[in-house]
Amino acid sequence: MTRPQSPGFTGLLFAAIPDLLTEITRAAKAYYAQAPALGLTQTDFLDWVATLPINRQAAVRRQGFVAAQAEPAFLRYCLEWRGYDMWGFMAARLSLAAFALWEANGQFNGDLPPNGIAR
């Protein structure tokens, strides 16, 4: 007769991932929700486009400033340029496990769509 294995730390972490993703998604939404109050401008948009890889710049320009206002990368650029650091924001709001997951996975936005934030 074999003895059942304990899920261990890894098993517990995988069981908790949906909750951690929800926590990260909520914190990311709260972070990006600060952006409209900044009064985003066409100059912000053009400055951000200049930081993008050359092969992406033309497509982003075609989509335009209005579309960019739902783009997490643009919003983060604008927020951080004005001193609203995402790392500090997330560190202050996430549990240790959620923050570790967020940081270990490239500071992702939880379950937010990769190219758009509903406003």
How many domains does the chain divide into? 1
Judge whether 12 lies within some domain: no
Judge whether 42 lies within some domain: yes
Cβ distance 81 to 34 under 8 Å?
no
Cβ distance 44 to 81 under 8 Å?
yes
Judge whether 5 lies within some domain: no
Judge whether 48 lies within some domain: yes
Q: How long a stretch of residues is the chain?
A: 119
Q: What is the pLDDT of residue 116?
A: 60
For 85-113, what is each residue's pLDDT tens digit?
999 999 999 999 999 989 988 888 877 66
Judge whether 91 lies within some domain: yes
In a 10 Å sphere around its CB, with 0-12 CB exposed, 13-18 middle and 19+ buried, how is residue 39 labelled? exposed
Judge whether 45 lies within some domain: yes
| CA neighbor of 78 nearest in space, from 43, 106, 111 | 43
Give the domain extent around 45. 17-104
pLDDT greater than 70 at residue 6: no
Q: What is the pTM of this model?
A: 0.79
For 26-73, what is each residue's pLDDT tens digit?
999 999 999 999 999 999 999 999 999 999 999 999 999 999 999 999
Judge whether 111 lies within some domain: no
Of the CA atoms within 13 Å of residue 116, those in its CB half-sphere come to 5
